[in-house]
Amino acid sequence: MQVSALRLLGRPGAILAAAFLVLLALVALAAGLLAPSGPLEQDLSATLEPLSAAHPFGTDEFGRDILVRVIYGARSSLLTAAGAVLIAAAVGVPIGLVAGFFGGWRDAMLMRAVDVLLSLPAILLAMALIAVLGRSQAAALLAVGITGIPSFARVTRAQTLSLRTRDFVMAVEAFGGSATHAMVRAILPNAWSPILVQIVVLSSIAILLEAALAFLGVGIPPPAPSWGEMLRTGKTYLYEAPTYAVLPGAVLTLTILALDTLGRALATALDDRSAPLPEIERRAA
Amino acid sequence: MIGAILRRLLQIVPVLLLASAGIWAMIYAVPGSPVGAIVGENATAEQVRAAIVRLGLDQPVAAQYWAWLGRALHGDLGLSIQSREPVLALVTGRLPATLQLGVAATLVGLVLGVPVALASAAWPGSWLDRVLSGWSALALGVPTFWLGLLLILLFTVQLHWLPSVAAYVPVWEQPVAALRNLLLPALTLGLYVSGVFARFLRASLLGEMGRDYIRTARAKGLRERDVIGRQAMRNALLPFVTVVGLMTATFVGGSVVTETVFTYPGLGRLLLQAIGVRDYPLIQGCLLVILVIFVLTNLAVDVLYLAIDPRTGARQ
């Protein structure tokens, strides 16, 4: 653990990425203190204003400050991603544990269920779920979370399979420990490093997917500030106010790149060889 | 090997059944009545009664699903609520546009991604490798809807060279017009996928470089270019082909974001429009067709892999 933390510290890219993410999280947390106005505060006398000292990112079609909305958008983006990854891990990790530990029909059934989630590109699965659930923040969170379940299930299953026959796991069972005890106390603590890598990788994919859904007009509904929604509306004002779409998109891109960088550095530092063939990218394109 | 292929076939049957059942059950999960979801909330009492009889909605749920699946297998996906046209015709009408963009994007991805991977793998750890790996990470990480907007700002708003709205023009009918329309969306999607290709191929090439046959080839005095380009490439190509196949399969319907940026008339946008107006028969039809194509392409890629490399059959 200490060794891997040190190895992570030796990578300037990872430090920079982590610093950016910490800053973003702080800004999102302190949005109410930092922002001079509310994210929904309109000023119809100052619509689509260019960049200025009063409005560093300009204003939108209702005269709302775009920087303020980017800051509040960070909050909803990070919260949605965190919630989605939590759902994906809470469902996916137990699936992988049970499938890998017991094998047999439980493995076959659970993995076929996971295959069903993989039978559509992630963005289409999310869109289908939203078509059923209706458009809301909760629906976006749930839909993004469900698309992440297979990654956790597969990684955890692979780890469980390789740990299953190790002495310390066999010992738990030999001394009469229950299967649950063996899974939770013996296997899980030793399988955490690839799961941790998945958490970071999936956060990036979740932020992108949430923004993509909002960009398509099926994500978090307006007027709530969301990066994807700002790109969607900004697209209609490319001639009048090109920075409207460009700046929120730049913040989104930096966030995704920072998480990707951190994920790669973490995988190298933890010497994660859990995926012999890198998993196919399940990004929204 | 035949056994392995049969096993894969047996695996996808329950997946297809379960996923299609999920798509079918959508009309039960949405607010309102299932029949309302199929004929639209503005349908007359007569239309509702006719639909109940025609679709067997008074039958038990399992029987309804089988009947729906049977009709779907015969190409009857019902009528769109919005346009009253057969869903199958609407969906297949979008396939050529979707395929054209998908193939174009894959080609762009290969042209941009493969040389990057080869150069990276030739000098691993060098400054060139670091720059190229950084480039791949960038290509892969930048959201297509932001990149697409930047390209529109440059090529449409600033330079007035290319249209921001990409129409579908069949490439074999009007190649020049098709290229003009396809360039920006294919570049957007292709840049992204070039990052996926480059990273994957680099990793597989480096995996091969440590093997004995590479040492033998070098010892024989083969030029480094040939060692990588011919010897290592031949074995790295196998997993790479599957990745290219899987990404192309993803583009069937899965490039909805890029299609939306450029208002391109593909399958993904048809689904998006259908969701916008709650046209459930059309939503179900789009999802079902994409599901079948996606799962079958995945299967084809797996079978191809087994066919080229019989070891994978034994390992499973």
pLDDT at B312: 52
For residue A71 the two structure tokens come to 């800051």
Measured between CA atoms, how close is A36 to chain B, in angstroms?
Answer: 27
Domain that holds residue A181: 2-37+58-284
Q: What is the pLDDT tens value at each position of chain B, 316 positions in all?
A: 788 888 888 888 999 999 999 999 888 887 777 777 777 777 888 888 887 877 777 788 888 888 889 999 998 998 888 888 999 999 999 999 999 999 999 999 999 999 999 999 888 889 999 999 999 999 999 999 999 999 999 998 889 898 888 889 898 888 888 899 999 999 999 999 999 999 999 988 888 887 888 888 888 888 877 887 777 887 888 888 888 988 888 888 889 999 999 999 999 999 999 998 888 899 999 999 999 999 998 888 888 877 776 555 444 3
* Helix B280-308 / helix B87-122 crossing angle, nearest 10 deg: 40
Measured between CA atoms, how close is A249 to chain B, in angstroms?
Answer: 6
Asked, for residue A51, whether it belongs to a domain, the answer is no
Of A119, A132, A253, the CB nearest to B19: A119
Burial profile A271-284: b = 16 or more Cβ within 10 angstroms, e = fewer = ebebeeeeebbbbb
pLDDT at A7: 66
Residues of B in contact with A123 (CB under 8 A): 254, 256-257
- In the chain, the amino acid numbered A5 is A
Q: Distance between CA A24 and CA A47 in Å, rounded?
A: 27
Predicted ipTM of the assembly: 0.89
Asked, for residue A53, whether it belongs to a domain, the answer is no
Q: Distance between CA A51 and CA B252 in Å, rounded?
A: 40
End-to-end CA distance of chain B: 11
Asked, for residue A244, whether it belongs to a domain, the answer is yes
Instruction: Count the domains in chain A.
Output: 1
Asked, for residue A45, whether it belongs to a domain, the answer is no
Taking CA–CA distances from A240, the nearest residue in chain B reads B157
CATH code for position A148: 1.10.3720.10
Instruction: Output A162 or A2, whichever has higher pLDDT.
Output: A162
pLDDT at B165: 87
Q: Which one of A203, A209, A216, A279 makes the best mutation probe of the B interface by having the most chain B beta carbons within 10 Å?
A: A216
Asked, for residue A43, whether it belongs to a domain, the answer is no
Asked, for residue A42, whether it belongs to a domain, the answer is no
pLDDT at B288: 95
Q: Distance between CA B239 and CA B143 in Å, rounded?
A: 26
The mean pLDDT of chain A is 87
Q: Distance between CA B199 and CA B133 in Å, rounded?
A: 7
Q: Which residue is listed with tokens 């019902």?
A: B78
Q: Distance between CA B49 and CA B60 in Å, rounded?
A: 17
Question: A255 exposed, middle or buried (CB, 10 Å; 0-12, 13-18, 19+)?
Answer: buried
Asked, for residue A7, whether it belongs to a domain, the answer is yes
